């Protein structure tokens, strides 16, 4: 089905997927093969070698393009492999402006891997989109946006950033992992490239690591496909199948993540031991108007800061939860709890971390789809 006029729930089930031509199997088979037999040299059914193409991957890529309202999608062995391919569009001397509250692994690949090759990254706040114009110069080739941000749940105006970028002939990339295509479609707001860690909400069951890039422009897709085939960070067919299967329930899961997220954010806000709660659904979120514009729901990610703002108080909460599991990652059906100051952001010096708005006691929740009352009970006994 490649009819883009269907509504989200229909697209999530059917987009890109046809009954298997050889058997009629309704579910896309896992084409576990490395190569394909040719009738004569160069005469084949569109598949030559599985680094280049695989039918399970093709189905997933068509589904991803459809649900992100894009023309092309490419899937990778991980979210960071997808990021790696995007940065390979650049050459030494090029500069990238990056939102400063960023996934730690993205920060690491930019500063530790690509900076060495002469690509320059500027990490700047983007809450006020207009303020990024001052960082643009003749070498600026890309603006990299993550929204909502991790773990501070800041919001960046994709439409405003893309408009500034376009004016200067710069490509805008949006990491849409936190929102998922069900809640936000950056291409609709003018972004050129969308990147996902499909490990999170798209896969949804904490059982696969995967990445996806979606674009509209043919030339961009051609370049990325060349990079993917040349560098080889492709996913296996079983992983593609798991993500394809995850996508079919994305809307049902996201609706429940949003519902549970709202109940828990409101509960935490009323808790006497909680100083503040960061959640994009609050009317008094500094960029709530932009949330309302570009997102269709508020998601399941929440951070909160304790009144007793120290490591020990946070550790006590983390030790005491029974349903919320202490783990990295997010977006799965089960609820997770994390402590950025000692986990994902542990390598950042304390002073700098606090200056960037990340205090010692900040706790991040990935709210799952269990019963909300049970989750609230768990937090109640853990916070005390």
Ligand X SMILES: *Cc1c(COP(=O)(O)O)cnc(C)c1O
- Least separation in angstroms between residue 1's CB and ligand X is 27
Return the range that interacts with ligand X (CB under 6 A); candidates 11-19, 76-84, 85-93, 301-309. 76-84
Task: Establish if 80 lies at the interface with ligand X (CB under 6 A).
Answer: yes
- Least separation in angstroms between residue 176's CB and ligand X is 9
**Nearest C-alpha neighbor of 336 from the set 242, 209, 200, 244:** 200
Q: Cα–Cα distance between 141 and 169 in angstroms, integer?
A: 8
79-87 and 218-231 helices cross at what angle (nearest 10)?
Answer: 110
> Helix, strand, coil proportions of the chain in percent (round to 5)?
40, 15, 45
Q: Which of 88, 171, 200, 353 binds ligand X (CB under 6 A)?
A: 200
Q: Which residues contact 39 (CB under 8 A, 6 or more apart)?
A: none
- Least separation in angstroms between residue 368's CB and ligand X is 16
Return the range that interacts with ligand X (CB under 6 A); candidates 72-80, 117-125, 156-164, 370-378. 72-80
Which parts of 110-149 interact with ligand X (CB under 6 A)?
A: 146
β-pair partners for 180: none
Q: Which residues contact 172 (CB under 8 A, 6 or more apart)?
A: 142, 143, 145, 158, 161, 162, 165, 166, 186, 190, 191, 192, 193
Task: Establish if 56 lies at the interface with ligand X (CB under 6 A).
Answer: no
Task: Establish if 154 lies at the interface with ligand X (CB under 6 A).
Answer: no
Residue 200 annotated among the catalytic residues of the structure: yes
Task: Establish if 76 lies at the interface with ligand X (CB under 6 A).
Answer: no
Return the range that interacts with ligand X (CB under 6 A); candidates 16-24, 73-81, 253-261, 344-352. 73-81
Structure tokens at 75: 């899937």
Task: Establish if 150 lies at the interface with ligand X (CB under 6 A).
Answer: yes
Task: Establish if 103 lies at the interface with ligand X (CB under 6 A).
Answer: yes
- Cβ-in-10-Å burial (0-12, 13-18, 19+) of 98 comes to buried
Residue 51 annotated among the catalytic residues of the structure: yes
Q: Cα–Cα distance between 238 and 242 in angstroms, integer?
A: 6
Q: How big is the site for ligand X, counted in residues (CB under 6 A)?
A: 16
Provide the 8-state DSSP code for 66: H
Task: Establish if 105 lies at the interface with ligand X (CB under 6 A).
Answer: yes
Active site residues: 51, 103, 175, 200
Q: Give the binding site for ligand X (CB under 6 A).
A: 78-80, 103, 105-106, 146, 150, 175, 177-178, 197, 199-200, 209, 211
């Amino acid at each position: 089905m490649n009819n883009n006029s269907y509504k989200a729930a229909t697209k999530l089930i059917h987009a890109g997927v046809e009954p298997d031509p050889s058997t009629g199997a309704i579910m896309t088979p896992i084409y576990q093969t490395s190569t394909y037999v040719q009738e004569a040299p160069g005469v084949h059914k569109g598949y030559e070698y599985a680094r280049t193409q695989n039918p399970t991957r093709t189905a997933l890529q068509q589904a991803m393009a459809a649900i992100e309202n894009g023309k092309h999608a490419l899937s990778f062995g991980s979210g960071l492999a997808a990021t790696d391919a995007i940065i390979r569009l650049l050459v030494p001397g090029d500069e990238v402006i990056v939102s400063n509250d960023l996934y730690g692994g993205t920060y690491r690949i930019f500063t530790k891997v690509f900076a060495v090759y002469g690509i320059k990254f500027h990490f700047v706040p983007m809450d006020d989109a207009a303020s990024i114009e001052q960082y643009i110069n003749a070498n600026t080739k890309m603006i990299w946006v993550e929204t909502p941000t991790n773990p501070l749940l800041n919001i960046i105006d994709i439409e405003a950033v893309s408009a500034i970028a376009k004016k200067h002939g710069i490509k805008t990339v949006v990491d849409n992992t936190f929102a998922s295509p069900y809640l936000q479609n950056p291409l609709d707001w003018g972004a050129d490239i969308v990147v996902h860690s499909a490990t999170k909400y798209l896969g949804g069951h904490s059982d696969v690591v995967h990445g996806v890039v979606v674009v509209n422009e043919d030339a961009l897709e051609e370049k990325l496909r060349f990079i993917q085939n040349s560098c080889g960070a492709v996913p296996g067919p079983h992983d593609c199948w798991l993500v394809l299967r995850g996508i079919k329930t994305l809307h049902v899961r996201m609706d429940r993540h949003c519902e549970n997220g709202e109940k828990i954010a409101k509960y935490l806000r009323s808790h006497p031991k909680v100083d503040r709660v960061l959640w994009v659904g609050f009317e008094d979120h500094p960029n709530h108007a932009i949330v309302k514009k570009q997102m269709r729901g508020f998601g399941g990610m929440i951070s909160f800061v304790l009144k007793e703002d120290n490591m020990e108080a946070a550790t006590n909460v983390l030790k005491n939860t029974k349903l919320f599991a202490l783990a990295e990652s997010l977006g799965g059906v089960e609820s997770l709890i994390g402590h950025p100051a000692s986990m994902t952001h542990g390598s950042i010096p304390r002073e700098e971390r606090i200056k960037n708005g990340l205090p010692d006691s900040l706790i991040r929740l990935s709210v799952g789809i269990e019963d909300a009352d049970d989750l609230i009970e768990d937090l109640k006994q853990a916070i005390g």
